[in-house]
């Protein structure tokens, strides 16, 4: 909370005064968003927010989510068409955003993230081994098959040359 205004601090740019839903990440960061946007983007939120709320409930009471603030921000950036996470940031963050999109049934976010992986893979901007592992982890058989042929071109270090080998 800000000492001057007694207002909770929200992750920018998610502090719109006309927003009617507050999400709180696992690490305590708050995001003030529009419930209509969330219902449009997410089957999960469409179902949950479609249930009438108790009139005595404070509409600004934060709704806790299991994800960290960087994952929530990644999802919201896509929902609000601000930006998409990049694979150059990290496969880990990208994967966590993808998992959250699956959890919250965000079909358009999932499709966009899938397209990013496929496009980067086709352009040769991804490490084939990491891309293959990522594709297998998330069940993308078409991407795994596509990248598997590139794995044959990798020149693996012999055990004697590998870092840390004695």
- pLDDT of 119 higher than 50: yes
Over residues 5-23, the pLDDT tens digits come to: 444 589 889 998 999 999 9
pTM, two decimals, is 0.79
Long-range pairs for 127-131: beta carbons < 8 A, 24 or more residues apart: 128/153, 128/154, 129/154, 130/91
Pick 127 or 136 by higher pLDDT.
136
Alpha-helical (H) ranges within 50-125 are 69-79, 91-103, 107-122
Angle at 100 between CA 48 and CA 17, to 5 degrees: 60
Over residues 135-157, the pLDDT tens digits come to: 888 888 888 888 888 888 777 65
Strands (E), the chain: 10-15, 21-24, 30-33, 63-64
pLDDT at 91: 79
Please say whether the beta carbons of 105 and 61 come within 8 A. Answer: no
Please say whether the beta carbons of 79 and 106 come within 8 A. Answer: yes
Please say whether the beta carbons of 15 and 5 come within 8 A. Answer: no
Q: Which domains does the chain have, with CATH numbers?
A: 10-151 (3.30.710.10)
Mean per-residue pLDDT of the chain: 84
pLDDT at 163: 52
């Amino acid at each position: 909370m800000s000492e001057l205004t007694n207002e909770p601090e929200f992750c920018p740019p998610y502090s719109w005064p006309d927003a009617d839903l507050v999400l709180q990440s696992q690490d305590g960061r708050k995001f003030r968003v529009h419930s209509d946007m969330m219902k449009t983007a997410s089957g999960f939120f469409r179902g949950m927010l479609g249930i009438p709320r108790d009139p005595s409930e404070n509409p600004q009471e934060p709704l806790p989510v299991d994800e960290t603030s960087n994952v929530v921000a990644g999802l919201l950036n896509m929902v609000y068409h601000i930006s998409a996470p990049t694979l150059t940031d990290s496969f880990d963050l990208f994967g966590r955003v993808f998992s959250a999109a699956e959890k919250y049934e965000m079909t358009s976010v999932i499709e966009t993230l899938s397209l990013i992986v496929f496009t980067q893979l086709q352009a040769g901007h991804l490490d084939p081994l990491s891309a293959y592992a990522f594709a297998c982890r998330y069940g993308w058989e078409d991407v795994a098959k596509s990248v598997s042929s590139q794995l044959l071109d990798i020149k693996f270090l012999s055990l004697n040359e590998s870092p840390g080998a004695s």
